Structure 1
Amino acid sequence: MNRTLGLGGAVTVGLGAMVGAGVFAVWSPAAGAAGDAWLWALLVAGVVAWCNATSSAALAATHPSSGGTYVYGRERLGPFWGYLAGWAFVLGKTASCAAMAMVVGSYLLPGSERSVAALAVVTVTALNVLGVQRSLAATRVILTLVVLVLLAVVLAGWWLGTAGAQAGTEPVSTGGGVPGWPGLLEGAGLFFFAFAGYARITTLGEEVRDPARVIPRAVLLSLGVVLVLYLAVGGTVLGTLGPQGAAASGAPVVDTAVLVWGGQEWVWVVRVAAGLAALGALLNLVLGISRTVLAMARDGHLPSRLAALSARGQVPRAAEVAVGAVVLLVVLSVDLRGAIGFSSFGVLLYYAVANAAALTLPAPARPSSAVPVLGLVGCLVLAFSLPLDSVLAGAVLVGLGLVAYPITRARRTRRARG
């Protein structure tokens, strides 16, 4: 594939994948679980994400191919572990894509969520089919607008907190949530949904210039920027609404903007920004999933037609269209309540494999052993601390994929012999 992405483009992909619907939607379920411990839950999620990012960056420098942890697991641990990572990623991120599309609809045109969501899926699939550079240009525009709106809410909240005390402004509600470690870990697992995407650039390894240098820098730089942004937004939202108020809110950033901006007249700006953020995240999610599908198809775990590249732009159009079609089907037929937990479960398993693979790297290329060990343990603990329905649904679908593994492996063996 054509190597057209430099450091700036790679960072843009990472930021665009993270600064999406999660920053507008995750505060309600996470605050409901963690309560007053929300800050610790956010930091735990950030530490696990940092470990995962460090491991993924080291692996990407060693194996700069499309497919991300699917490739790393296959090359470092064996075909089964690569398949497990790829299957968990495709499941988790397909659910996340559908959730992002529904957020686009719910913010931009409440009451017609599914129709708008379907249109969003078709639009981003068409953009991705045209090539990664067009997707990158759209991501830059969306990311700039969304960050400006979030900063406007944060700055207004800080000003209100320091200069507007005489107006009698108080958090809507304080306290609440599940006390102790169970609630904190469940909240951290849900917060992880908003971080997932920091290593999206590793799935585009064949399209990055000088990947051994660019990918590690891009992954860690984008994660650091987003962690600072989330701390600022979280402090404003939960400082204004309180944990119980945020947990009860269907749109916590919108409700925060109503209070800190002093009325409803400019709230449409936040709604548009949330819709655009979800659209940008959807754009990058479909991009990343299609590259994992491409890698799995190359190895015979998915139909070989999905490994085809367009003759002109070297774009995996068949994989792009297939992913878009599946996401569209989910959007039109499935209730997406609980999608955040389900997505987090699949992606945490994916990064557990990444950390295990990083442990096998030779010493010069491997980060300190403590990093992948902490990341591996953290991923597994957070995955099984999620709401029970998310864990059960995720375990069932991952199990179905594992049942199919011997079949695809036998087909691959026959193809190699023939």
Structure 2
Amino acid sequence: MSTEHLRTPGSSPTAPAGGFGRPRLGTSIFPAASALPRTVSWRYAVVVGLGAAILIVVSFGPMRDDIGNMALIVWPFAAVVGALQCLLIGELASRFPYRAGGVAQFGYRAAPNGSPTLGAVSSWGYWFAWTPGIATHLILVSTYLHERVLHGVNILLLAAFIGACLYAVNSLGLRITMTLNIGLAVFSIVPLTLIMIGPLFRPAAFEFDRVWPIRVPAEAAGDPLQLALIFFKWLFIAAWAAYGAEMASTVVSEIRDATKRIPRSLGISSLICIVTFTGVPISLIGTAGMAGGSSEGTAAFDPAARAIFGPAGPTIIGLMLSCAILLGAQVFIIGSSRTIYQMSLDGHLPGVFAKTNRRGAPVGSMFFDILIIVGLLSVFGTDVVDIVAAAGVGYIVVFILLPLAYLLLRRRPDGSPGAFRLPRQAAGLAAALFLLNLLVLLVGGSLWGVKVMGIGLAITFAIVPISRLTRRARRRAERSDVPEMPEAT
């Protein structure tokens, strides 16, 4: 029987030792529990989940350019799948609210007796999924500011400066970070809402025949197999954004009364994502059509903003979207830091990566973040879609392992008393989600090419030897710390 429920939210497991460190308090279900302070309300988790809604900015333009209004099927479908997955996450996070980093931490239980290797792959894949988002978001904001405001400033230097500021804010602790994020969230909601409801006030700008009927890409006309391949190819990209309501769970170990509140946070985040990933594409395509100018970042929104709000529309919406993109980058930093923190506690990384500062903020992830950001930018340059595709490999792996972990954990009675539990029909849902995500990875991912899939798989599974070496070093350190028994006289 798990002892997790016996630990109060304010209690703190033993700190890791020096050197490689040791995992904090473990349970019969998971190897370690978070000791991050519980300082925030469940509403803050919704703000984190809101960061997913803005991710449509990253790949909407390229998808629209490639498959036209078929994107109106892909985006909502991905958001609904993400919401269904949040049902499973809601139960697991409610039962085991002492795991920092959210959904990825349950991958450890994708094997009957728990698997350190699967746990490492799940967590590392999740971290890898979001870390490139930090780079892409900083580049999008810096490019916009360079083109509209700061003409003489180098884009990469500006991105580095903004990134340093965001990491500095993150080091101040979750409460202060989320106070800033609430302000950014307001600017996130406003432009997306204006885009969605704008056609109601300017109906002449909206042409329904651009939205319906759905037009099949020319290369798939009369070929159901080719149509399915195109659908899975772009579902693989859309999943990276539209599954994102789950990000609300990354701060579950820092929420007060998380057992009762985290399902609510995930539910609201899911609803926001479904509305956003349905309404925004309809409005953008209905007002600007399929040939909407540049497909890069906020520029993909310019034609619709101009049609709805006039000449000043692109500037107003662009500035607001830039604030929203900053929220997305900050959310990625929050998720990244918590994931690396929990990986260190679980024994997959040296103890230094579980370091927290005096404000209780995990600050050990920055080294790996910078390494991956620089590496991906050096390989793919500013090709945002390929970066997302490579990162999506690790992300989909997480959601292949999640249903397996759910099916095994739902049979066990362990967990916090009063936790949210789904009906038994959820087992069928979990099985269906497993099969769907397996297809998304194998079919959709492979269509992005050997280079993208190869890099994605290589980085995702690079943690396996790192984890094994770290766990071996910890076992040796623990054996050497055991005092010798005095000889009998």
TM-score (norm 1): 0.89
Partner of 2:167: 125
Alpha-carbon distance in 2 for matches of 1:9, 1:220: 14
Q: Does 1:254 align with 2:316?
A: no
Equivalent of 2:134, from 97, 101, 118?
Answer: 97
Judging changes above 3 Å, is the alpha-carbon distance between structure 1 residues 324 and 348 closer, same or farther for their aligned structure 2 residues? Answer: closer
Where structure 1 has 5 or more consecutive residues not aligned to the other structure, the ranges are none
Letter in 2 for 1:202: S
CA positional deviation for 1:75: 4.4
Partner of 1:373: 431
- Tell me the alpha carbon deviations over residues 368-397 of structure 1, each in whole angstroms, 9 at most, x when there is no partner: 112222222222222230322432321222
- Tell me the alpha carbon deviations over residues 190-246 of structure 1, each in whole angstroms, 9 at most, x when there is no partner: 22222243222322222111111111111121111221122111101111233x425
Mapped contact 2:246–2:266 kept (Cα < 8 A): yes
Equivalent of 1:152, from 194, 198, 204?
Answer: 194
Q: Does 1:286 align with 2:286?
A: no
Q: Does 1:198 align with 2:232?
A: no
Which secondary structure does the structure 1 equivalent of 2:244 belong to?
coil
Alpha-carbon distance in 1 for matches of 2:56, 2:208: 24
Partner of 2:259: 212
Q: Does 1:115 align with 2:161?
A: no
Alpha-carbon distance in 1 for matches of 2:292, 2:434: 30
Equivalent of 1:51, from 62, 80, 84?
Answer: 84
Letter in 2 for 1:146: S
Q: Does 1:411 align with 2:473?
A: yes
CA positional deviation for 1:76: 5.3
Mapped contact 2:53–2:273 kept (Cα < 8 A): yes
The structure in which a higher percent of residues are helix is 1
CA positional deviation for 1:248: 6.0
Alpha-carbon distance in 2 for matches of 1:130, 1:33: 42
Q: Does 1:38 align with 2:84?
A: no
Partner of 2:367: 322
Which secondary structure does the structure 2 equivalent of 1:2 belong to?
coil
Mapped contact 1:355–1:372 kept (Cα < 8 A): yes
Which secondary structure does the structure 1 equivalent of 2:100 belong to?
coil
CA positional deviation for 1:414: 2.2
Letter in 1 for 2:174: V
Q: Does 1:29 align with 2:62?
A: yes
Alpha-carbon distance in 1 for matches of 2:453, 2:233: 11
Partner of 2:394: 346
Letter in 1 for 2:399: Y
TM-score (norm 2): 0.77
Q: Does 1:270 align with 2:317?
A: yes
Judging changes above 3 Å, is the alpha-carbon distance between structure 1 residues 95 and 247 closer, same or farther for their aligned structure 2 residues? Answer: farther
Equivalent of 1:13, from 37, 48, 52?
Answer: 48
CA positional deviation for 1:300: 2.7
RMSD: 2.7
- Tell me the alpha carbon deviations over residues 260-282 of structure 1, each in whole angstroms, 9 at most, x when there is no partner: 2232x332112212221111111
Alpha-carbon distance in 1 for matches of 2:136, 2:295: 17
Q: Which deviates the most, 29-38 or 217-226?
A: 29-38
Q: How many residues in Structure 1 have an aligned counterpart in Structure 2?
A: 409
Q: Does 1:221 align with 2:268?
A: yes
Q: Which deviates the most, 95-104 or 60-69?
A: 60-69
Judging changes above 3 Å, is the alpha-carbon distance between structure 1 residues 416 and 71 closer, same or farther for their aligned structure 2 residues? Answer: farther
Return the index of the structure with the highest Cα Rg.
2
Which secondary structure does the structure 2 equivalent of 1:4 belong to?
coil
Which secondary structure does the structure 1 equivalent of 2:462 belong to?
helix
Letter in 2 for 1:39: L
- Tell me the alpha carbon deviations over residues 59-112 of structure 1, each in whole angstroms, 9 at most, x when there is no partner: 111221213244312245321111110111122211122111111112222373
CA positional deviation for 1:345: 2.1
